[in-house]
Amino acid sequence: MTEAPVRDQPRPTAAPRRPLPTLPLAGALAAAVAVAVVVLRLGGGVNLVPVPGLPVADPVVAWMLPMAKLACDLFAAGTIGCFVAAAFFVRDDEGRIGPQAYRWLRAGALFAVGWVAAALIVLPASLSDLFARPLDAVTFQGLWSFVSDTENGLAYAMTAGIALLAAIVGARTFSTTGAAFAAVLALAAVLPPVFTGHSASAGSHQIAVDSMVLHVLGAVLWVGGLIALLLARRDKADVAARYSRLALFCFAAVALSGVINAATRIDNAGHLFDTAYGRELLFKAVALAALGAFGLWHRTRTLPRLADGRPGPFRRLASVEVLVMGGTFGLAVALGRTPPPPSTDEETLARSLLGFDMPAPASAKTLLLDWYPEVLICTIAALAITAYVLGVRRLRKRGDTWPITRTLLWIAGWGLAVFVTSSGMGRYSMVLFSVHMVQHMSMNMLVPILLMLSAPITLALRALKPVKDGRGPREWLVLILHSKAVRFVSNPLIALALYVASLYMMYFTGIFGWAMASHAGHLLMLAHFLAVGSLFFWLLIGPDPAPREVPYPARILMLFVAVAFHAIFGLTIMQSTDLLAADWYTAIARPWGDTPLEDQRAGGGIAWAFGEAPSLVVLIALLIQWSKSEDREGRRLDRAAKRAEETGRPEEDPHEVYNAYLAELAEQDRKAGLRE
């Protein structure tokens, strides 16, 4: 038999070559740098033209600073995207990460190291730029003063420190929980500079900063998620489906927050066209619209093909998408260096400190109608109410019932939180200690009572569907409820100490003055009031399951102790001759009403009297719950006794067991000679 010609023999099929995921990322980096350079040059963000009487900036530093900030933004997106993907985009093996999550964690750790390096470069570059001195003139002592004495220096130092911690956690963890912790750290690291940029100096800086927080978080999650998706090697269809849901929310957050933030800088529509800042905003809006179109095309065209095993269209469109995202990041950095249009409002000391003009003397009308939205709290409230209503709707579709009173309590709780922080009360709480104390007591008592009585944990556990493989929202909630941290803070003594002691620490250690002067501190103060109040009243009257079951007598004792310490706190402030946050109230120089010390004493009276009505409501609720608990226990014992009688097993009758226990104790007493 003759041998077949060589050309007719089948050749081995070569494995298809996968495009390197680093190529789109390198293109995105190049686009970011190119757009930043062009826009900085044309928009005046880097201006090296000497101005008579002013020092000339070092040309090297003038370009180094925005490029270092751009590197911070890009590395932050890569870090957050990889860590979030490792924690939430793939299935785990009983809490252990798989190969794909492992690669994401290691990539995220490398991104985080680059983030730390870039943030450390920003510090001396910012100091050099601030004083228009060469970089080699920066000394260690000057750099230390810059970090310790200025908000901008401290912000980037905090970013570097937290990002370094995230890198260590990401590099060393092998669990899904560790990946989630690294993601939380990375998200926290991106926030400090937000409170010191253009937004912090805008006229309505509360609105500007809050909207920028949402803008930045949405952007890094959106871009970072796409970076992680491009780096994925396995289960790309599943990962893309999960990322698509996240990207939709991120797009909405970035778009809405961007509009709100732009409104705080542009008070004349003409500035959008006749100023460099306005034109850059328009270019950014066009880029955002293009990215939204990419997302729509993904959801309708490329994702179905990816699920069918045809990744080509998705990969090509995603490569273009990340290129546009990189250019948008470069545009955002240039926008941050471009001077915004001058405001038409007169700049006063009160406006620079408060973010708004000194309000008129307080009245019922101004407290109710003079609104100044706290954007973050309004957003959280809207999301919380929406999630709760959707959970109730899911239960009803399944045929289950849920008390309408709990839904109304939840809506009322978040509505009250919005009212005391965003109505005239929010505005006047910055200039009147008495109004601040009403806000404090509402966020610390009234809002938590309403929220905890609405049983949100029970609703979530019933409405959320269990996930068979990996962890879904329900599994994460159960994990958090059974975590060591929650078990620790839910200890009655710890919860009581946090609720009471933090009250004194807030006002008598100088923390209150910092919280009033810093928007970040103010937000943390409000969050703290709500968190410790929710924890305390969860243990007291919450129908939700808690890690520790607190007996009702102990709950009543906890309530009385808290009421007593609140009364002492109020009386202490009423009798004090020292002004709290004296620097703040002196600086704003309120020209009307009582003196700051007289107003502070009125606030102490509010703190002393305010807790009585809510505490009485809580006490009544506790007594009712205790009575119902006793009734349920009695019915349970009766059912057990009846079941023991029907089965002919009297030893299982709880009444007989208890009688036998008493007889045994009496017998022990007789043997000890204590009874005849």
pLDDT tens-digit series, residues 433-444: 999 999 999 999
What's the pLDDT score for residue 202?
Answer: 55
Rounded-to-integer distance, Cα 213 and Cα 375, Å: 10
pTM, 2 dp: 0.86
Handedness of CA 509, 511, 516, 518 (dihedral sign): positive
Average pLDDT over residues 264-286: 85
For residue range 180-194, what is the model confidence (pLDDT) as tens digits? 999 999 999 999 999
| pLDDT at residue 126 greater than cutoff 50 | yes
CB 539 within 8 A of CB 546: yes
Determine the pLDDT at residue 16.
45
Residue 222, Cβ neighbours under 10 Å: how many? 23
**Both structure tokens of 476:** 């994460």
Which of 403-412, 451-460, 652-661 is predicted least confidently?
652-661
Render pLDDT for 511-539 as a digit per residue (tens, 0 to 9). 999 999 888 899 999 999 999 999 999 99
- Give the DSSP H/E element, type plus range, for residue 353: helix 349-354
Q: Round to whole Å and give the CA distance between 220 and 257.
A: 14
Range from 75-79, 142-146, 340-344, 591-595 that averages highest in pLDDT: 75-79
Measured between alpha carbons, how far is 436 from 442 in angstroms, rounded to an integer?
Answer: 10
Structural contact between residues 477 and 460, judged by C-beta atoms closer than 8 angstroms: yes
**pLDDT reported for residue 551:** 87
pLDDT on residue 634: 56
d(CA 625, CA 623) in angstroms, rounded, equals 5
Instruction: Give the count of alpha carbons within 13 A of 321, CB side only.
Output: 25
pLDDT category at 79 given cuts 50, 70, 90 is very high
Radius of gyration of the chain (CA): 30
Cβ-based neighbours of 676, under 8 Å, separated by 6 or more: 670
Sequence-ordered strand ranges (E) for 612-676 = none
The confidence score (pLDDT) of residue 8 equals: 45
pLDDT at position 499 is 93
Q: What is the pLDDT of residue 4?
A: 44
Distance CA 503, CA 218 (A): 34
- Would you say residue 664 has pLDDT above 80? no
Instruction: Give yes or no for a contact between 250 and 84, defined as CB atoms under 8 angstroms apart.
Output: no
Predicted confidence band of residue 200 (pLDDT cuts 50, 70, 90): low
In DSSP terms, 96 is beta-bridged to 93, 175
**Do residues 457 and 544 make contact, with C-beta atoms less than 8 angstroms apart?**
yes
* pLDDT top residue among 116 and 466: 116
Mean pLDDT confidence for 390-419: 94
Q: Which residues pair with 93 in a beta bridge?
A: 96
- Mean pLDDT confidence for 34-59: 76
Q: Which of 34-38, 89-93, 550-554 is predicted most confidently?
A: 34-38
Residues 392/459, Cβ–Cβ less than 8 Å: yes
Task: Compute the C-alpha angle 487/491/494, nearest 5°.
Answer: 115
More confident residue, 470 or 228: 228
| Distance set, CA 229 to CA 109, 191, 235 (Å) | 16, 24, 10
**Helix locations, 4-58, DSSP H:** 22-43
For the chain, percent of residues with pLDDT exceeding 90: 47
Locus of tokens 């008579």:
52
Least confident of 190-199, 250-259, 599-608, 661-670: 661-670
DSSP 105-140: HHHHHHHHHHHHHHHHHHHHHHHHHHHT--GGG--H
Beta bridge mates, 175: 96
pLDDT bracket for residue 657 (50, 70, 90): low
DSSP state of 268: S
Classify the C-alpha dihedral 417-449-636-554 as positive or negative.
positive
**Which two structure tokens, joined as six digits, stand for 378?**
């309004």
Q: Which amino acid is at 89?
A: F
Instruction: Provide the residue type at 457 as one letter.
Output: I
Q: How far apart are CA 246 and CA 242, in angstroms?
A: 7
In the prediction, which pLDDT does 317 show? 85
Cβ–Cβ < 8 Å for 376, 210 = yes
Q: Tell me what the mean pLDDT of segment 126-145 comes to.
A: 86
**Residue tagged 């929980």 (tokens):** 177
505-512: long-range pairs with CB below 8 Å, 24+:
507/569, 507/573, 507/580, 508/580, 512/580, 512/581
Calculate the average pLDDT of the chain: 85
Residue 39 to residue 31: CA distance in whole angstroms? 12
97/33 Cα distance (integer angstroms): 35
Considering only residues 497 and 610, tell me which one the structure prediction assigns the higher pLDDT: 497
Kindly state the average pLDDT of the residues 622-630.
78
Indicate the SS3 state at residue 48: coil
pLDDT of residue 24: 83
3-class secondary-structure state, position 96: strand
Angle at 473 between CA 526 and CA 110, to 5 degrees: 80
DSSP tag of 589 = T
Residue 312 identity: G
pLDDT recorded at residue 2: 42
CA 410 – CA 422 distance, rounded (Å): 18
Give the list of residues 6+ apart from residue 196 with CB closer than 8 angstroms, or none.
151, 152, 155
Question: How far apart, in whole angstroms, are the C-alpha atoms of residue 83 and residue 552?
Answer: 43
Is 133:125 a contact under the CB 8 Å cutoff? no
Contact predicate 168/113, CB 8 Å: no
Instruction: Give me the pLDDT at residue 270, please.
Output: 80
Confidence of residue 605 (pLDDT cuts 50, 70, 90): very high
pLDDT higher than 70, residue 620: yes
Domains, the chain, with CATH or none: 28-342 (1.20.1630.10), 362-610 (no CATH)
**What is the pLDDT at residue 376?**
93
Q: How confident is the model at residue 92 (pLDDT cuts 50, 70, 90)?
A: confident
Residue 216 CA to residue 335 CA, distance in Å, equals 14
